[in-house]
Amino acid sequence: MQKTFQVKPVDRARMYPLGVSFEEEGLRISAVCEGAEEAGIILYDRKHREGVRIPFPGHCRVGAVRAMMLSGYRDRYCSYLFYRGEEVYQDPYCKRVENLCGYGIRKPSMPRCQAALEDYDWGGDENVHIPYEEMIIYALHVRGFTKHRSSGVKHKGTYAGVAEKIPYMQDLGINMALLMPAYEFDEIMPENTQTIEQAVLSYKQELPKPGGEEKTPRLNYWGYQPGLYYMPKSTYAYSKDAVGEFKDMVRAFHRAGIGVSMQFYFPPEMRTADILDILKYWVLEYHIDGFHLMSGALSMDVIADEPLLSETMLLTGEWNARKDKDSGHNVGWLSDGFLYDMRRFIKGDDNMINQFLYHIRENKAENGVVNSIARWDGFRLLDLVSYERKHNEENGENNADGMDYNCSWNCGVEGKSRKKSVQELRLRQMKNAITILFMSRGTPLLYSGDEFANTQEGNNNPYCQDNEIAWIKWNHTTMGRELLDYTKYMIGMRKTHGILRNRTLLHGVEKLPCGFPDVSFHGREAWRPDTSPASRCVGIMYCGFYGAEKDREDEYFFYIAVNMHWQVSYMGLPKLPKGKCWAYRASTGKEIPEIEEDASSQEICVPPRTIVLYTVKEASVESGKPSGKKGTGEGKGRTVRTPKMTKTTRTAKVKGMKQPDE
């Protein structure tokens, strides 16, 4: 060994960062090696195809860190593993790994690590800095987003395939993509593992027995488990250069004005200092704009205080900002309360009106509040209105996995239905969810495919399903196309008007000398909402004076008539400033309610399970606005007259609408 490699000590000041990297002097190697056992590197190159062991010198150590320099070593295509005593393991700080085979194929041996290669030309790329109040977050699974044959991309299921869909995301109106785990992890689950909870506790290679029949491997499709955190997942790349392909994707997103954020799962025992090193590396090396951190023991205050991450989105579900300071401006809280309460309200449960009114105006100046109604765990949006029970039999766990109660309602039929009344009701309910999501004050998070009614066939936990159950199906139905148009319209409304996306909490009081509070609630009579336990109806008025941005005043008023009851409901409209009048804008149903007037007041008759939107003047620059064709339920900013509802239709339940369990 001494004739082949010249091992030199490393100065104490150069023992960090950990890992293996090429420097001007040669190959620098640094690792954590606790204990007194012999430890070192197994190096594989053109001269040592079977590998050669090079131990760390005993004197090159500080604490548990050992380091050495292979002076003059230049083989940039070498690979390596670490050893400690008899144990052989991958470098947790490695920046590349050999791509031995495709996704879902059991590796014949432990993939070897590789040192980082030449620098990447970013071409002047910079991070996209988007405050929480401006964000439209779009969550996606890198493989499942384009793997289906209907995706229409060339490189299906890869980073390059995601990049091909950027024009679609631009047209939709999102500006922050959130990737489910895309760091290097082994998707092959150990054979003796029965649940995902057990899978994240241990990682080991399970090789087929010689002469035995190999079983179909069980997959961890989602990837919420420990892994090699310093590199993108190699099997999500169509090329052998996963690092370069991932960076190409990020650069393409940034050129389109869209940020890129990533989910990371960290086991509870992982140190905050190590997590910080990982996040900083992805920001510097991969230009990542944000992270959704998933762990049972995160010190978010420490992470939020890191200067390098001061403009990086940090999203978590486990953190509350310290009351003694305002340093969480880049930290967001993913609200489960919004998800479950809004589902129950849309479903029509009792005693939900006050929770609804709280969530729709909730926001915080010190940190972001991120809202969702459907996401990666649980039912898809279409499944939320199509299934009352989970259908996870294909997961192989006797339907015992996943949440038992999803706050869902099947609209009268479990699963798929060809009945026109059921399909129309489901579309109406999905539009209700989209309207509430984008008309609420917190940052909206939309899961990919929900905008056009993608389905997982009632599976609410497809963590192991690398197939059409979990993949996004892009062959849109008529329902899907109409929902997509409506979603674009709502995103366009939100992006155009500051009152819908201001950072502060709405208090319901008059703070400006304009004669109106920032938000007000209304019932059968204007200014008198019904907040009793049985109430499912309310009118919400946003005053645009409180959404003025820079030098542009916004005098837009929004009146959102919400009726989640299975009967029609009358609602009173508040009077507007002199010279202004209410005009119909959109409805989640096919009916277009007219404004009924008398000498003293205005009111509308809102159909069952319907949200109707009124404004005060015709919009001019709203993107993605539907055409207003007959039957779509969207108008063009004018008061639309339709035949009045008869006395019978005002009081009778709509045929085919089953009352949900309360």
Q: How does DSSP assign 172-230, residue by residue? A: HT--EEEES--EE---EEPTT--SHHHHTT-----PPPTTSPPPPPEE-SS--S--EEE
Closest CA to 468 of 232, 221, 238, 233: 221
| Lowest-pLDDT range of 380-394, 441-455, 580-594 | 580-594
Contacts of residue 123, defined as CB under 8 A and 6 or more positions apart, other chains included, come to 251
Q: Give the Cα separation of 256 and 359 in Å (integer).
A: 32
What band does 248 get if pLDDT is binned at 50, 70 and 90?
very high
Calpha distance 497→328 (Å, rounded): 25
Longest dimension (CA), the chain: 102
Question: What is the architecture of the domain spanning 6-114?
Answer: Sandwich (2.60)
The distance of Cα 65 from the centroid of its chain, to the nearest Å, equals 37
| C-beta separation of 360 from 428 below 8 A | no
Measure the CA–CA gap between 118 and 125, rounded to whole angstroms.
18
Q: Per-residue pLDDT averaged across 71-97, rounded?
A: 93
Integer Cα distance of 346 and 536 in angstroms: 9
- Per-residue pLDDT band for 638 (boundaries 50, 70, 90) equals very low
Q: Does the pLDDT value for residue 254 go beyond 60? A: yes
Q: What is the mean pLDDT of residues 648-657?
A: 35
Q: How confident is the model at residue 205 (pLDDT cuts 50, 70, 90)?
A: very low
Give the pLDDT mean for 633-661: 39
Q: What pLDDT is recorded for position 538?
A: 98
State how far the alpha carbon of 416 is from the alpha carbons of 402, 404, 457, 660, in Å: 21, 20, 8, 18
Peptide bond before 17: cis, by omega within 30 degrees of 0? yes
Query: Dihedral sign, CA of 625, 629, 630, 631?
Result: negative
| Chain mean pLDDT for the chain | 86
Whose CA is closest to 219, among 458, 404, 470? 470
Asked if residue 547 has pLDDT above 80, the reply is no
What is the Cα–Cα distance from 601 to 597, expressed in whole angstroms? Answer: 6
**pLDDT one-digit tens code per residue, 353-409:** 999 999 998 888 778 899 999 999 999 999 999 999 999 999 999 999 999 989 999
CA atoms within 13 A on the CB side of 63: 7
Lowest mean pLDDT among 15-24, 335-344, 503-512: 503-512
Span 163-188, average pLDDT = 97
CA-derived radius of gyration, the chain: 28
Cα dihedral: 627, 632, 633, 636 (round 10): 10
| pLDDT-derived band at 199, boundaries 50, 70, 90 | very low
Greater confidence (330 vs 287) lies with 287
Distances (CA, A) of 84 to 32, 55, 88, 250, 527: 10, 9, 7, 37, 72
Residue 172 above 70 pLDDT? yes
Q: First CA to last CA across the chain, in angstroms?
A: 76
DSSP designation for 112 = P
3-state secondary structure of 243: helix
Q: What is the arithmetic mean of pLDDT over 112-124?
A: 87
Contact 142, 162 (CB under 8 A): yes
Q: State how far the Cα of 30 lies from the Cα of 522, in Å rounded to an integer.
A: 66
Structure tokens at 155: 């490189």
Q: How confident is the model at residue 564 (pLDDT cuts 50, 70, 90)?
A: very high
Confirm if 132 and 503 have CB atoms less than 8 A apart.
yes
- The band of 636, judged by pLDDT with boundaries at 50, 70 and 90, is very low
Report the range of poorest mean pLDDT among 106-120, 203-217, 437-451: 203-217
Is a pLDDT exceeding 60 seen at residue 230?
yes
Query: What 3-state DSSP class applies to 300?
Result: helix
Closest CA to 562 of 359, 383, 410: 359
- In single-letter form, the type of residue at position 389 comes to R
Confidence of residue 12 (pLDDT cuts 50, 70, 90): confident
- Global pTM? 0.89
Question: What is the residue extent of each domain of the chain?
Answer: 6-114, 132-202+217-498
Tell me, what's the pLDDT at 326?
54
The structure tokens 């978590």 sit at 316
Euclidean distance between CA atoms 132 and 130, whole angstroms:
7
Strands (DSSP E) found in 242-335: 259-265, 290-294, 313-316, 331-334
Q: Is the pLDDT of residue 611 over 80?
A: yes
Print burial letters for 519-544: b (CB count within 10 Å at least 16), e (below 16).
bbbbbeebeebbeeeebbbbbbbbbb
Tell me: the pLDDT tens digits for 502-545? 777 777 777 776 778 889 999 999 999 999 999 999 999 998 87
Q: Which residues contact 577 (CB under 8 A, 6 or more apart)?
A: 515
CA distance 57 to 414: 67
DSSP state of 438: H
Q: Specify the pLDDT at position 617.
A: 63
Give the separation between CA 330 and CA 307, rounded to whole angstroms: 11
CATH of domain 132-202+217-498: 3.20.20.80
The percent of residues above 90 in pLDDT, for the chain, comes to: 64
Per-residue pLDDT tens for 40-52? Answer: 999 999 999 999 9
pLDDT one-digit tens code per residue, 463-500: 999 999 999 999 999 999 999 999 999 999 999 888 88
Write out 341-382 in H/E/C secondary structure: HHHHHHHCCCCCHHHHHHHHHCCCCCCEEEECCCCCCCCCHH
Reading phi first (left if > 0) and then psi (alpha if -120 to 50, else beta), residue 113 is in beta
